[in-house]
Copies of this chain bind each other. A is one copy, B any other.
């Protein structure tokens, strides 16, 4: 079973494209954007490989799962390839997200300026505590978790971002699943159980550090 860098094992879903390949696609998009804004029009798998410290063959093979985007003897058109990859990943539209947990971390997440430019729009904020529900934080009126299902439907929310303390995280994730959410980004330091068909990614700096120390001890 697959495990992202950080953590978060997660279930196999549809399609015959390996999960690892899907996870590399956003990297390609990112460097293509860089090259594009540096004015470069064409790029080879060799150049991409150098930039990402991976083999050109792997890049070509990855891309070949989705089509034939290059021209022999020349390489890939930077703008075209970026646009194709964005479309494959579903990044040619915006996605609404709800943040659950309005403590220190949740506040940082709702005010993080990196999501919106990439098309991820935080649309609602939730918390369990009566002290916070109803207050306005970073422009969001904080809602009770009991409102989750209703709001998810009304605002067409597709992504749940979990920023609650670890001892409530599994419960909140259950609520998200119950509300019909299929994609969850989890900041709490645990490996939650999710049913098949729900995609879970974890953000856990401690886990990353804990595997690095193996190599330096």
Is the beta-carbon distance between A114 and B8 smaller than 8 angstroms?
no
Assess the A213–B183 pair: CB atoms within 8 A: yes
Q: CB-CB < 8 A to A4: which residues of B? A: 2-7, 208
B95 x A213 contact (CB < 8 A): yes
Question: Are A88 and B214 also in contact (CB < 8 A) when A4-B3, A4-B4, A5-B6 are?
Answer: yes
In the assembled complex, A30 has its CB within 8 A of some CB on chain B: yes
Contacting pair B108 A54 (CB below 8 A) = no
Copies of this chain present in the complex amount to 2
Do the beta carbons of B22 and A3 come within 8 Å of each other? Answer: no
Please report the C-alpha to C-alpha distance between residue A93 and residue B214 in the assembled complex, in whole angstroms: 12
In this complex, the member of A4, A24, A90 whose beta carbon has the largest number of chain B beta carbons within 10 angstroms is A4
Contacts of A130 in B (CB 8 A): none
Which of chain B's residues have a CB closer than 8 A to the CB of A101? none
**Residue A26 is within 8 A (CB to CB) of chain B in the complex:** yes
Q: Are A189 and B30 in contact (CB under 8 A)?
A: yes
- Which residues of chain A from 156 to 170 have a CB within 8 Å of any chain B CB? 158-159
Interfacial chain B residues near A31, Cβ < 8 Å: 191
Q: Within 8 Å of chain B (Cβ to Cβ): is A179?
A: no
Question: Which residue of chain B is the closest to A161 with respect to CB atoms?
Answer: B205
Contact partners of A147 in chain B: CB under 8 A: none
Write the nearest CB–CB distance from A200 to chain B, whole angstroms: 9
Most central of A30, A97, A104, A190 by chain B CB within 10 Å: A30
> Which B residues touch A208, using CB under 8 A?
3-6, 8, 185, 201, 203
A27 interface residue, CB < 8 Å from B? yes
Distance to closest chain B CB from A194 (angstroms): 8
The 6 residue pairs across chains A and B that have the minimum distance between CB atoms: A3-B5, A4-B5, A5-B6, A90-B217, A4-B6, A26-B210
